[in-house]
Amino acid sequence: MLNLEKYKIIIENPKGSYKSFETEGDDVWQSYPLKGVTYPVDYGYIQDYIGEDDAELDIFVGSGNQSGYIKVWRLDVPEETKFFANLTETELNQVIEAFSPVLIEHKILDEENFEQKISEFKK
């Protein structure tokens, strides 16, 4: 299990919560293939880390021992990296399924490679 104490993680969407990606009156997002998602694990961001969308870096946090990242396609940026930490195999499969309409890639990383990859996003 990855030790997350060194990161300031803010959970915005607890496990089981739903978030719509449709913005009323915004025709651009109407064509996005992912209309919304029910989060299978806690989802939030890591303070002091910035994603490709210039917002705080997203992270899924679960209850297992698999960590790594997924890359998703968005309308406003070519791709966005979202990290995951401590997911069970079931939780990871649920994340992959939830984001499958826009999923580009997913990769499981050991602790050393996780630290190396996430450091690329440090402010």
How many domains is the chain built from?
Answer: 1
Q: Is residue 71 part of a domain?
A: yes
The list of the chain residues with pLDDT below 70 reads 22-33
pTM above threshold 0.85: yes
pLDDT, residue 30, reads 64
Q: Is residue 4 part of a domain?
A: no
Count the neighbouring beta carbons within 10 Å of the beta carbon of residue 69.
22
pLDDT, residue 27, reads 64
Range of the domain at 108: 9-119
Q: How far apart are CA 26 and CA 85, in angstroms?
A: 33
Q: Is residue 2 part of a domain?
A: no
